[in-house]
A and B are shown apart, each in its own frame.
Chain A
Amino acid sequence: MQVTSDFQGRCREALNDPQIRRNFRFAMDGLMSKRRASLGDEDEREGLRARCAAIRANALARLPDLLEQLERNCTENGIRVHWAETVQEANRIVLDIVRGHHARRLIKGKSMVSEEMGLNHFLEGQGIECLESDLGEYIVQLAGETPSHIIAPAIHKNRQEVAELFRRKFPDIPFQEDPEALARSARRILREKFEQAEIGLSGVNFAVAETGTLCLVENEGNGRMCTTVPPVHIAVTGIEKVVERLGDIPPLLDLLVRSATGQHISTYFNMISSPRREGERDGPREVHLLLLDNGRSRIHRDAQLIDTLRCIRCGACMNHCPVYGRIGGHAYGSTIPGPIGSVVEPQKEGLARFGELPTASTLCGACAEVCPVRIPR
């Protein structure tokens, strides 16, 4: 009997596309070697991994308490906290905020949870424009695609493909293939959008219960733009992103960045604890924090699966996965691809849709070896 599912079909298609194979191989080799260079000292690396795994495990063990504490401290700081059990509820909450301000357009920093919500599609159906501002996300949006990697969304395209896309979308801009020239074009186009945006939306890397602080890691500055310039900032995140103490942040930031890109530190680390305060001359006047469940509390109740919620979304598991490196992110068909996506997505979206994803494994264990928070333990 021959059964060809959508997933198998997509895998076959990706494997037969030499451009996809080349683009991913090139990118994954680069990301792996950068991580290796940055985390070369085994004692230091393993010490840091043990520490970060413990921080995340502790946060999950106390999740209900920490979420209440986060809500209390954010509220005290002037951040408005919203809870959503489903993506439908989450989308509705964002829409209500946008409508409350009579806004027609939203400018976005990188947020995988907004991808999980299908927020762009939903808001556009309501006549509200969502503009991605992270360079990779912007490219993907221009192409009408979805991200193929959680930290490098346009990794499936090479410079020629991006240049061709820009030529098609912006015929007035002279053709250029140099990544920096392409980035500068995006800068010019988006600068005006930041200036005029009525609402900025971002994700959250870590939410600190102790102080009610939202932490964002980025290199481009678009995340800072979205959370600094517009009068309203909406941060969307999953309930598992909370950590207990501010002192938990330095090791997590350190290991996240080194695991993800091999940098010592990102260009920007942005810690937001309140809207603009009395006397301050900029910053949003309103900050909203939207906490999404969408199956996470069910995962949290499962003794086997709870550890998957430790994930800090560095992407190292996909960078090192022999399957991901060959089929790329789109073949998975899920918001989060790669090893962690293969475990989490069937739980969140159901076995009917993503039940096959766990078969995208060679059982080599590379993902577990590189995971900064030791999933699976």
Chain B
Amino acid sequence: MRAEVHLTSPSQWAERLLQLCREKGLGNLLYAADGPLAPAIDAVWENADAPPERIRHATTIEQWKPALFADTEAAVTSVRAGIADVSALVLWPTPQEPRSYSLVPPVHFAVLHAGQLYHSFAEVVEQEQWHTGMPSNALLISGPSKSADIEQTLAYGVHGPMQLIVLLLI
């Protein structure tokens, strides 16, 4: 489904993230300053030589929509779970990591711990007892945005991210 998957480790993923940002020539990276990934990202970025600019916003989307759409090159988010049989990520956006982070920037990095893998969607819903309380938005994401609306030919990067890059932490 054209998602890139990189195997890395819980101690080294942020280094790998920086390296991937550089390889892809990304000028900036959006992340949640108060989210679960921030400590590792900040530690690596602060010791790096001229890393991509870090973008942090603790405000509502209304206060920075134009910059989110026009100037944000990539975002990184955590992932709640992975679904093995169909290769999909489960995201439950939070106040710290809003839903637009995995949607608007052209590149989405997703950080998934191997321990959060489930066999199937049915298994996640059942084991995590989703029916007892759903978030405002729950998402399954399996790849970059795509369309086959013209001649059944797959075209990538239609409205959502053009690249989905999964960092799988083992």
On A, residues with C-beta under 8 Å from B are 26-27, 30-31, 133-136, 139, 152-155, 157-159, 162, 179-180, 182-184, 186-187, 190-192, 194-195, 210-211, 213, 219-222, 224-225, 228-229, 231, 245-247, 249-251, 253-254, 261, 264-277, 279-283
Contacts and interface: CB of A to CB of B under 8 A. Distances in A.
Given A135-B150, A282-B100, A247 B122 contact: yes
A26 B150 CA distance: 12
Contact of A280 (B57, B95, B122): B95
A316 to B, nearest CB: 15
Nearest to A249: B125
B140 A265 contact: yes
A228 B103 contact: yes
A281 B147 contact: no
Nearest to B83: A265
A288 to B, nearest CB: 15
Contacts of B154: 179
Contacts, number: 196
Interface string B117-146: 000111001100011001111111111111
B46 interface: no
A261 B104 CA distance: 25
Interface stretch (B21-29, B36-44, B47-55, B58-66): B58-66
B98 A280 contact: yes
A128 B23 CA distance: 45
Contacts of B57: 281
A272 B137 contact: yes
A283 B136 contact: yes
A20 B50 CA distance: 56
B11 interface: no
A137 B63 CA distance: 31
Nearest to A221: B160
Given A134-B149, A265-B142, A267-B1, A220 B136 contact: no
A255 B153 CA distance: 22
Given A221-B158, A277-B136, A247 B149 contact: no
Secondary structure call for the B interface:
loop
Contacts of A186: 158
Nearest to A181: B155
Interface centre among B1, B104, B125, B126, by most A CB within 10 Å?
B104
B136 A276 contact: yes
Contact of B159 (A139, A220, A282): A220
A329 to B, nearest CB: 14
A179 B159 contact: no
Interface string B154-166: 1111111100000
Contact of B134 (A159, A182, A253, A271): A271
Contact of A179 (B59, B125, B138, B151): B151
Contacts of B88: 265, 269
A190 B157 CA distance: 13
Given A222-B159, A225-B159, A264-B86, A182 B95 contact: no
A267 B122 contact: no
Given A183-B155, A191-B159, A249-B121, 6 more contacts: A27-B152, A219-B158, A224-B103, A225-B160, A268-B140, A271-B138
Contacts of B130: 211, 246
A211 B125 CA distance: 12
A152 B121 contact: no
The 6 closest A-B pairs by CB, nearest first: A221-B160, A136-B149, A183-B155, A269-B140, A250-B122, A282-B61
Contacts of A184: 155, 157
A62 to B, nearest CB: 17
Interface in B57-93: 57-62, 65-66, 69, 83, 85-88, 93
Contact of B125 (A31, A194, A250): A250
Contacts of B58: 281
B16 interface: no
Contacts of A250: 120-122, 125
Contacts of B149: 134-136, 139, 152-155, 183
A328 to B, nearest CB: 15
A281 B98 contact: yes
B5 to A, nearest CB: 15
Interface centre among A158, A220, A245, by most B CB within 10 Å?
A220
B93 to A, nearest CB: 8
